[in-house]
Structure 1
Amino acid sequence: MTAQPDTRTAERTRPVPRRLSVGLGSGTVLQPLNSSMIAVAIVAIGQDFGSSSGIAWVISALYIATAVTAPTAGRLGALFGARRVYLGGLTLIALGAVAGALAPSLGWLIAARVLLGIGTATQYPNAMTIVREYADRHGAQPRSAIATLAACAQVVVALGPTLGGLLVGAFGWQSIMWVNLPIAAVSAAWVLAVAAPDGPRRAGGTPAEVLRSLDPAGMALFLAGTSTLMFFLLSLTTGPAWWLVPACATVWVAFVAWESRAAAPFIDVRALAGNRTLSTTLGRTLITYTAFYCVFFGLPQWLQGGRGMSPAAAGLMMLPVAGVGVFATMTASRLYGRHGARRTLLVGTTGLVAGGLLLALAENSTSPIGLILVVAAILGIPNGFNNMGNQNLVNSATSAREVGTAIGMYRTIQYVGANLAAVVIEVTMRDGADDMGLHRTGAVIAVLGATLLVGVLFSRTLREH
């Protein structure tokens, strides 16, 4: 991927229309919705199927499927049209929702969650491609549209447990599957109305030529490498499958070797290595999302285990993370437009250090509710600023044709971070989700934030942004 910063961005003042960005955002909410609602449905699912064996895979199946599919979805959008692939993903979501709601066994439900993961992986990368193509075609600035897409995900990922708790309590766990259908239908109608039709597909020629242009061998190696890595990370929470380490390393070496000499590589690793802005941004994203999911997974567990709250009450206590996160995202968008990525990321990383220290030093089971809400609000700040800084850097470092694949890689990194966070929580709360477990988790978050802060302060690539 070649770095092609948009030199006209500073001259652009007219934003991408809100109807387009919100319309695209209506579909991107389905991934965070499905990844967060399931947390409050797990007990009911285990009771319904009469066993807790394999329940963890109901959660992990969607994360793994999304992680390995997102870059592929961006690549398919570049070849066949972003709107076509976006709408095709909504169709897969509808099929997965019906299959999951009617699942006769746990294995069937896990398969349905995989289908949901594949479908939900298509929205964000292709929404970014549609936004970028519109901005380039009409001379508009994409920053506000990126903020809208980020805000949609930010709100839903925090609201998901609360909404899921209400649905499961009123209608059973199947309701978290059925709720996908009206959202997917509305999103499809909205996108058809506001997004311009795709032009002729770029992947012309015979079916064999089209297949070769997709680099199926590169895709297969990427899927195998990512899946192996995710399986290993998940195994760390139960019993480490060390044999996966050499297997994972072998697959990734083969992937790099293949992509380095492929005529039309799925991911141009040579260009990626030469694009320091993109490669360092993806590395920063991995640390950022590991810290974010430590908050997202760890705080609700402590609220229930350390404070004795119900799942619904714990979900409500997470609302400040969502509300402040939306405000932070919009504020970060304006800050990025005026002062660039460095200052935006400085706010985000400083907030992460502060939030981690508060969890490590100030929170305990006797803390007043007001203090917990204040800390939750502070924890809503970092992700908005870090997300906006990093996503805008990905956008500025890639061309319109490449941005979908790059954002797909961004999403893959996000869910690898989610699984790393699950490992961190397993270690820090190994003796229970008590005060000590929360303090250890907070210390890890603070260390990760400090690492990011030092990196931002001394990054050479950020001097140009």
Structure 2
Amino acid sequence: MAKPAAEPELPGGFVTPIAFGTILQPLNSSMIAVALVGIRAYFDAGTSVTWLVSALYLATAVAAPAMGRIADVLGPRRTSLAGIVLVGAASAVAPFAPNMATLVVCRIMIGIGTAAQYPCGVAMIRRAADRLRSRPTNALAALAICSQVTAALGPTLGGLLVGGFGWAGVFWINVPLALLSAVVIMRWGPADPATRNRSRGRLKALMRVDPVGMLLFAIAVTALMFWLLSLAATPAWWWLAIGIPAVALTAWWGMRARDPFLDMRLLARRGLSFTYGRTIVTYTAFYCIFYGLPQWLEETRGLGPVGAGLVVLPIAAVGAVSTLLAARLQRTHGSRATLIVGTAALCLGGLLLVLPGVDSPIPLLLVISALLGLPNGFNNIGNQGAMYAVAPAARMGAASGLYRTSQYVGANLAAALLALVMGAHVVDAGLHRMGLAIAIIAAALLAASVVGLLRRRPA
């Protein structure tokens, strides 16, 4: 009996406009790292400058599932365009901010706008793949490259922009990028399903977004994220007094509401909830590398922001290649095998961070940086593919938004972990402790993936 023909991949011309907009969030999350010193001096801001980092993550963690839910009911293309417009407008205002508070508000608006792009992209891919009976593997790989790999490229680009245009350069770059993204998605992006009465149909659809559930979720996530941020200094346990009841109310509402924003039946799917938990842990390790290594390169190794950005550049380059290899592996062996390779590489990368010292030559640092890029593609493709496989098509926007939120919870856990193992000043011993922590995290993830593969094999 002849084997059925394999489903084709989505056309590249279809995927490119979807993936292009997703570069905005990772770039904005990472470029700011090399602009903080200049912003602190310009506004005489002191430690309040760190809110430029925290505000974006908080806004994105809350807005990603919200924008994904809006995309599910209003259409991902419309929602993506609205987010792009918000990014461009806030970025054009930011360089003229009169004070730090205004600049933080601009970062929040940028966070909300960029939060729409990934869940909208996944939702568009799912709709197209179902309609064309195509495989989404290459399309999801494109999203992975544009998100995680672009984040690794951010410090390098940010260093060049700050060197040429000052701190405002990391905001100015968003204006042409947002304009280009809007043109690309309007010209080539897949259209949303038409509604008979556009104004009445969209208003009716907005009523299905569940504003009560969205508000409860926003309160819960904000309180928990503030608590996580406080772990880096003096833990503010009282945030849990707000966060835990808000989580309980969000779950209660999600079970009672007719069409809830956070569908608890979705989280009851063991594969999906397990994927979110694994993503949180994976990104804790990733962001430790992402923030910890450049700090060590600047403070202890003596490289400036441009030099540190160039040394970590191989993380992005190798990450792009590993994403393509991971897509091929997932296509033939599935997400579990892809995650085993990624976590094994992450464990090795953590152990390699025990080697560098203050006198380490640049070539050695470049080799270690390149090897640290290897697990990025495999872990991102594996977790992303696992989420895509178990999330229902009608809720793909909300499910992928929660996947994004999981990443930012990991980012805040990483900030707390870095404060614990590195302290106020990043010396060699702190870098080595960070490497060991990453290796332990990766070993636990590897064990969980291997056990899951062995349990699945008899079935």
Distance 1:213 1:330, change over 3 A: same
- Contact 2:336/2:453 (8 A) holds in 1: no
Which residue number corresponds to residue 295 of structure 2?
301
Amino acid at match of 2:56: L
Which residue number corresponds to residue 253 of structure 1?
248
1:52-451 pair list within 5 angstroms = 52-201=46-195, 210-273=205-268, 275-360=269-354, 362-430=355-423, 432-451=425-444
Distance (whole Å) between structure 2 residues aligned to residue 33 and residue 381 of structure 1: 20
Distance (whole Å) between structure 2 residues aligned to residue 249 and residue 271 of structure 1: 20
- Contact 1:342/1:463 (8 A) holds in 2: no
Pick aligned residue for 1:34 from 18, 28, 31? 28
1:21 aligns with 2:15: yes
SS of equivalent to 2:370: helix
Shift of 1:246: 2.0
- Contact 1:80/1:201 (8 A) holds in 2: no
Distance (whole Å) between structure 1 residues aligned to residue 454 and residue 320 of structure 2: 27
Distance (whole Å) between structure 2 residues aligned to residue 462 and residue 315 of structure 1: 42
Q: Which moved more, 1:114-123 or 1:151-160?
A: 151-160
Distance (whole Å) between structure 2 residues aligned to residue 462 and residue 374 of structure 1: 36
| RMSD over equivalenced CA pairs, Å | 1.9
Amino acid at match of 2:363: G
Post-superposition Cα deviations, 1:319-354, rounded to whole Å, max 9, x if no partner, equal 111111000000000000011112111100100111
Distance (whole Å) between structure 1 residues aligned to residue 247 and residue 328 of structure 2: 39
Give the gaps of 5 or more residues in structure 1.
1-9
Distance 1:11 1:251, change over 3 A: farther
SS of equivalent to 1:134: helix
Shift of 1:271: 3.5
- Contact 2:216/2:249 (8 A) holds in 1: yes
Distance (whole Å) between structure 1 residues aligned to residue 169 and residue 435 of structure 2: 34
Q: Which moved more, 1:85-94 or 1:396-405?
A: 396-405
Q: Which moved more, 1:423-432 or 1:257-266?
A: 423-432
Distance (whole Å) between structure 2 residues aligned to residue 59 and residue 444 of structure 1: 23
Post-superposition Cα deviations, 1:422-443, rounded to whole Å, max 9, x if no partner, equal 1111111115211100011001
Q: Which moved more, 1:317-326 or 1:239-248?
A: 239-248
Shift of 1:375: 1.4
Give the gaps of 5 or more residues in structure 2.
none
Distance 1:201 1:222, change over 3 A: farther
Amino acid at match of 1:259: G
- Contact 2:94/2:103 (8 A) holds in 1: yes
Distance 1:429 1:201, change over 3 A: farther
1:3-18 pair list within 5 angstroms = 12-18=6-12
- Contact 2:275/2:387 (8 A) holds in 1: yes
Distance (whole Å) between structure 1 residues aligned to residue 324 and residue 408 of structure 2: 23
Distance 1:390 1:423, change over 3 A: same
Amino acid at match of 1:463: R
Distance 1:207 1:81, change over 3 A: closer
SS of equivalent to 2:46: coil
Shift of 1:461: 9.9
Distance (whole Å) between structure 1 residues aligned to residue 454 and residue 39 of structure 2: 47
Post-superposition Cα deviations, 1:166-210, rounded to whole Å, max 9, x if no partner, equal 111211211211111111111111111212221135999688854
- Contact 1:342/1:462 (8 A) holds in 2: no
Distance (whole Å) between structure 2 residues aligned to residue 377 and residue 11 of structure 1: 38
Distance (whole Å) between structure 1 residues aligned to residue 5 and residue 385 of structure 2: 16
TM-score, normalised via structure 1 length: 0.94
Amino acid at match of 1:235: S
Post-superposition Cα deviations, 1:71-119, rounded to whole Å, max 9, x if no partner, equal 0111111100110001010011011102212211110000000000000
Q: Which moved more, 1:232-241 or 1:121-130?
A: 232-241
Post-superposition Cα deviations, 1:246-281, rounded to whole Å, max 9, x if no partner, equal 2211110111111111111112113421x1111111
- Contact 1:276/1:461 (8 A) holds in 2: no
Amino acid at match of 1:293: Y
Distance 1:249 1:182, change over 3 A: same
Q: Which moved more, 1:325-334 or 1:95-104?
A: 95-104
Distance (whole Å) between structure 2 residues aligned to residue 266 and residue 447 of structure 1: 36
Distance (whole Å) between structure 2 residues aligned to residue 461 and residue 100 of structure 1: 52
Amino acid at match of 2:434: T
Post-superposition Cα deviations, 1:411-454, rounded to whole Å, max 9, x if no partner, equal 00101100110111111111521110001100110011011001
Which residue number corresponds to residue 7 of structure 1?
none
- Contact 1:12/1:139 (8 A) holds in 2: no
TM-score, normalised via structure 2 length: 0.95
Q: Which moved more, 1:216-225 or 1:369-378?
A: 369-378
